[in-house]
Amino acid sequence: MPVKIGVLALQGDVREHLAALTAAGVEAMPVRRPDELAAVDGLVLPGGESTTIAKLARTFDLIEPLRARIKDGLPVYGSCAGLILLADRIVDGTSDQETFGGLDVTVRRNAFGRQVDSFEEDVTIDGLSGGPVHAVFIRAPWVESVGPAATALAAVTTGPAAGKVVAVRQRQLLATSFHPELMGDGRVHAYFCDMVRNAVT
């Protein structure tokens, strides 16, 4: 029986994540309500606008259920805005910025600059076979610091941001600054799907 992985479908690139999860061989479904959240074995937090997603999650009564499931061990993968939403600490956030938390990192919002500063780079991710991932950074955050509970998996190697961490894992939580769902490389999603399968067996 395939595992069921949800994509938080309040705002952002939901469709691309659903397609990537389906291609990885799991049952993928959008999540907009607490009962849908309760039905999934894992969850993806998509790219988009982190403050908007958090406000909509509160409107849809999802903030506390999300925090509770993350605390209880739900496997979650966050890309770009999803990384911000998983972070315990944020730099350059808005005064009313909320996160779901769980990931022992400090994240800087829009660290790589504005939309016009978007770029692509090949990134090597620890534990991911098949060579570097071609990563797309769009108004992306980076991980300013990694706490003792989390592990850095990848960093940018060129340009002014060289050395900045762009992928992290903490037990059942995985996050990247970039958007693997936009490049047709399914390895990050497959890696997360294996995390979910391992968690439910």
Active-site annotation holds for 181: yes
Catalytic residue chosen out of the listed positions 16, 17, 181, 189: 181
Catalytic residue chosen out of the listed positions 16, 17, 121, 179: 179
Residue 90: what residue type?
I
Orientation of helix 63-71 relative to helix 50-59, angle to 10°: 100
Active-site annotation holds for 179: yes
Residue 191 main-chain phi, psi, to 5 deg: -60, -45
Active-site annotation holds for 80: yes
Catalytic residue chosen out of the listed positions 80, 98, 189, 193: 80
Hey, which residues are catalytic here?
A: 80, 179, 181
